[in-house]
Amino acid sequence: MIFNYIRVSTVQQNTDRQLLGIDCDRAYEEKVSAKNTDRPQLQAMLMNLRADDHVNVHELSRLARNTKDLLVIVEQIMNTGASIQFHKENLRFDSGKTADPFQKLMLSMLASISTFERDLMLERQKEGIALAKAAGKYKGRRSQFDDSQVAEIRTKFDMKSVNKSALAREYGISRQHLYGMMAA
């Protein structure tokens, strides 16, 4: 069987540009971050792979965003007897064949670059948020509670006899979030 794995990070993003004209028997498509391998469609595809199957992926970063995960997934695919091809980078890994040392090097290098790129993006994001907070322009996510609800929660919170964990559960928030609200 031929599988196409297609992924974007958010539901707002479009998958149309990935694997155009690449026929497959089954496509696995998801709109989730690749920060880890805990992705339903990825796991379903890996569970369905058999010897002589083939996986198509548009580019390395669509399969994984860090070097370790990418190498582990590629090895897992090959260990089942399947092959994988990254179309943008023109890299193919077939089980049973001795992997081309150049392609193994390219996989590791490009995966490292992808990881580096993600780390830089997260660093820039943190810097931007810190600057916006310092300028008073970033307040974080809007509270799910209006002022009267916050006042009600604060009244209950200030009572010594109230269990803070039970109070958090009552309002559907974590204990940590409850304490954060009360500190603000």
Residue 9 annotated among the catalytic residues of the structure:
yes
DSSP 140: -
C-alpha distances in angstroms, 153 versus 160, 162, 183? 13, 11, 12
The residue annotated as part of the active site, out of 9, 108, 114, 148, is 9
**CB 60, CB 87: distance < 8 Å:** no
Q: How far are the Cα atoms of 80, 145, 151, 174, 183 from residue 156, in angstroms, in the given order?
A: 57, 15, 9, 16, 14
Active site residues per annotation: 9
